[in-house]
A = this chain, B = another copy of it.
Amino acid sequence: MKEIQAIIRPVVLEELKEELSALNIRGLTIGQVMGCGSQKGWTEFYRGSEVYMNVLPKVRVSIVVPDARVDETINAIIKVARTGEVGDGKIFITNVERVVRIRTGEEGDDAL
């Protein structure tokens, strides 16, 4: 199994959930993060002082899938998250050695 970690813009989250559920991928875990990268931040103003926000709000979606489903998952993410502008985010894939479903104790692909 692989963990697909996608760092995306918060606004595409809703659509991503729908897209994945269309693929019958129902399990995912979402975290709020701040990111920086090539995307420039913005300038906020507080009482006449400029404050440069160099980290931007992003959402980290982590989806653990069987090896066979990695590519379609990546494609699904790209499909909804790509705007073509800097800041669309990244997808990181890592190997997951074991998965356990707490409720049943099942392991492996069955546990997903």
A78:B64 contact, CB within 8 angstroms:
no
Q: Beyond A78-B105, A94-B95, is A35–B29 a contact (Cβ under 8 Å)?
A: yes
B91:A103 contact, CB within 8 angstroms:
no
A111:B95 contact, CB within 8 angstroms:
no
Contact flags A73-91 to B (C-beta < 8 A → 1, else 0)? 0100110011111111111
A26 within 8 A of B: yes
A43 within 8 A of B: no
Q: Beyond A17-B54, A29-B35, A60-B29, is A101–B111 a contact (Cβ under 8 Å)?
A: no
Name the one of B27, B29, B93, B112 contacting A98, with C-beta atoms under 8 angstroms: B93
Once the chains are docked, how many angstroms separate the CA of A87 from the CA of B27? Answer: 11
Of all chain B residues, which has the CB nearest A83?
B103
Contact flags A4-19 to B (C-beta < 8 A → 1, else 0)? 0011100000000100
B38:A27 contact, CB within 8 angstroms:
yes
